[in-house]
């Protein structure tokens, strides 16, 4: 009989407005890849943080390697042999990649030795990263690579992964799965949180299902279908998206030969970007994180105004050197990939977070905030997008990642944009919330809004987009229609290998 590595019994964690975990019990065997499945807000991340020592349980016990343990902090967890990759990262922005990793490895290695281990691990696992880069210069996807590498370097007995593949190409996911299966064959255990049901079925050998902080079932995911796993998780399959062809209208956004030198030494030069998005269509941009997405978005949004005026044309206005406020006045709205800190101020309420992009609740005469208006608008978004929150006064940081994402998407859609640019719309969002967000984006397109989606979820882009581009090394591929695109083709192009590049473009990757 396979030996049990981890046993949880009666784990309970209460917060003032919610019981995150209510008497949770589960066993993880040695050499097992064990999925934790549930909706956003089901209590999965809280439970993982308790195992890792980042959160203290109110009740219950943990047995690890046959010993009852009280894990007071992550350092003690790592000493026991437990590592975790968080969905929301725990990195110091002002330190380099190597310095961040070094902090979790003790003092037995020099910084140079840690840098070499990072490079070796990155090469082995297909997680390319420069150890000398400061974390503030990294994209979200690159930060996730750092977290994965840092956890692997601890040589853990139990590795906890929270949405680890959300920013990887299909080829990189396959390579990571080979690594995880190898770790399992060596007797190491993995707790795996993902909302990608096909991943759980392909990778995991056991699954515990949670709903509202309670364990509601367990199964062998290899014996289940996507439909049956969804039934276990949310009680039903989300309705299929209704995608109907629509004739595009006027050009909302035109990008003309946009070429920008990187402003950050670790950034990416943009090279001759040509792009257009028309009213009533969704254009998707795929690519591995760190290939120029951030630089392109900054140029489109006005956070970088170094472009020539006519390099970015918004509703026939040459706006390349305009600041964000002037572009927003033309109807441009944006949902960033960083939910906390950029999309929302963590310490402010949902109602006050409306002020980041909505100014109508500010009195034009005296500048007073009209709190009743803000409260009403926030409550309307909560209800319309089924956000699980205690109300308009709930702090942004108190929401689960998926529920905060629903609120942010709802905030921008509710503002009736003419052009919506959205980055990573359903990153780390459960299957039900993901379907809801995608349906809202399609419905917005059908009202005549132009939509540009930047995502590393290829299935999402293929489901939503009328046309797709791929960005690699700061260059943009030709567009593909939905009918022409496939996961394999897009995955190949994400390496920079599209036909025009193969004809000899100097910046193509080989």
Alpha-carbon distance of 65 to 439, in angstroms, equals 46
Contact 141, 78 (CB under 8 A): no
Residue whose C-alpha is closest to residue 48's, from 2, 5, 13, 17: 13
DSSP string across 145-198: HHHHHHHHHT--SEEEEESTTTTS-HHHHHHHHHHHHHHHHTT-EEEEE-S-HH
Contact 183, 148 (CB under 8 A): no
Q: For the CA atoms of 88, 31, 39, 16, what is the dihedral angle to 10 degrees?
A: -60
The 10 Å Cβ neighbour count of residue 225 is: 13
Coil vs helix vs strand at 397? helix
Contact 472, 287 (CB under 8 A): yes
Residue range(s) in the chain whose domain bears CATH number 3.40.50.300:
4-234, 248-331+417-510
Instruction: For residue 479, give the DSSP letter.
Output: P
Alpha-carbon distance of 290 to 205, in angstroms, equals 33
- At 157 the pLDDT is 94
C-alpha distances in angstroms, 473 versus 59, 287, 456, 482, 505? 50, 9, 15, 23, 11
What b/e string do you get for 234-267 counting C-beta neighbours within 10 Å, with b at 16 or more?
Answer: beebbeeeebeeeebeebbbbbbebebeeeeeeb
- At 509 the pLDDT is 34
DSSP string across 257-309: EEEE--SSTTS--EEEEEEEEETT-EEEEE--TTSSHHHHHHHHHTS---S-G
- At 507 the pLDDT is 38
DSSP string across 201-237: HHH-SEEEEEETTEEEEEE-GGG--HHHHHHHHHSSP
Task: Assign a CATH topology to domain 4-234.
Answer: Rossmann fold (3.40.50)
C-alpha distances in angstroms, 255 versus 44, 169, 464, 468, 475? 42, 26, 21, 15, 13
CA angle 138, 139, 140 (to 5 degrees): 120
Question: Consecutive 10-residue runs of the chain (510 residues): their mean pLDDT?
Answer: 87 89 96 91 90 95 94 92 82 91 82 93 82 86 82 90 74 79 90 88 94 91 87 71 78 97 86 96 90 94 95 97 95 90 91 86 69 92 89 90 88 94 85 85 94 89 93 93 87 79 38
Q: What residues form DSSP beta bridges with 471?
A: 476
Residue whose C-alpha is closest to residue 391's, from 358, 350, 353: 350
- At 237 the pLDDT is 62
CATH class of this structure's domain 248-331+417-510:
alpha beta
- Whether the CA torsion 377, 383, 384, 385 is positive or negative: it is positive
């Amino acid at each position: 009989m396979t030996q049990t590595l981890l046993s949880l019994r009666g784990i309970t964690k209460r917060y003032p407005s919610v019981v995150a975990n209510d008497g949770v019990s589960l066993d993880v065997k040695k050499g097992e890849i064990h999925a934790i499945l549930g909706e956003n807000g089901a209590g999965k991340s809280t439970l993982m943080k308790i195992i890792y020592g980042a959160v203290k349980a109110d009740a219950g016990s943990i047995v690890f390697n046959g010993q009852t343990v009280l894990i007071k902090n992550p350092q003690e967890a790592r000493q026991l042999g437990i590592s975790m990759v968080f969905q929301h990262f725990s990195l110091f922005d002002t330190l380099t990649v190597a310095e961040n990793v070094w902090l979790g490895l003790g003092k037995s290695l020099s910084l140079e030795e840690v840098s070499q281990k990072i490079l070796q691990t990155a090469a082995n696992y297909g997680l390319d990263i420069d150890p000398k880069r400061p974390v503030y210069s990294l994209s979200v996807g690159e930060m996730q690579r750092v977290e994965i590498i840092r956890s692997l370097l601890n040589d853990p007995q139990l590795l906890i992964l929270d949405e680890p593949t959300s920013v990887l190409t299909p080829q990189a996911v396959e390579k990571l799965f080979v690594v995880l299966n190898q770790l399992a064959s060596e007797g190491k255990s993995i707790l795996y949180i993902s909302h990608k049901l096909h991943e759980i079925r392909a990778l995991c050998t056991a699954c515990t299902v949670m709903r509202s902080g309670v364990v509601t079932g367990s199964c062998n995911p290899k014996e289940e279908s996507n439909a049956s796993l969804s039934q276990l998780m949310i009680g039903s399959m989300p309705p299929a998206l209704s995608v109907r062809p629509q004739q595009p209208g006027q050009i909302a956004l035109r990008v003309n030969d946009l070429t920008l030198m990187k402003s950050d030494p670790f950034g990416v030069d943009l090279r001759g970007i040509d792009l257009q998005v028309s009213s009533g269509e969704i254009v998707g941009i795929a690519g591995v994180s760190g290939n120029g997405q951030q630089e392109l978005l900054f140029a489109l949004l006005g956070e970088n105004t170094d472009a020539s005026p006519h390099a970015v044309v918004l509703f026939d206005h040459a706006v390349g050197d305009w600041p964000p406020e002037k572009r927003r006045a033309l109807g441009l709205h944006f949902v960033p990939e960083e939910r906390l800190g950029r999309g929302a101020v963590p310490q402010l309420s949902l109602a006050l977070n409306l002020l980041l992009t909505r100014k109508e609740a500010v009195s034009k005469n005296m500048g007073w905030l009209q709190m009743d208006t803000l409260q009403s608008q926030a409550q309307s978004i909560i209800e319309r997008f089924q956000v699980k929150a205690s109300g308009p006064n709930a702090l942004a940081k108190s929401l689960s990642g998926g529920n905060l994402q629903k609120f942010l998407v709802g905030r921008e859609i509710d503002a009736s944009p003419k052009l919506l640019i959205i980055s990573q719309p359903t990153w780390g969002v459960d299957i039900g919330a993901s379907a809801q967000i995608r349906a809202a984006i399609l419905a917005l397109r059908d009202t005549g809004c132009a939509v540009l989606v930047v995502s590393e979820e290829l299935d999402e882009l293929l489901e939503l987009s009328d046309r797709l581009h791929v960005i690699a090394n700061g260059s943009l591929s030709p567009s593909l229609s939905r009918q022409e695109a496939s996961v394999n083709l897009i995955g190949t192009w994400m390496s920079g290998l599209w036909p025009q590049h193969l004809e000899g473009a100097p910046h193509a990757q080989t």
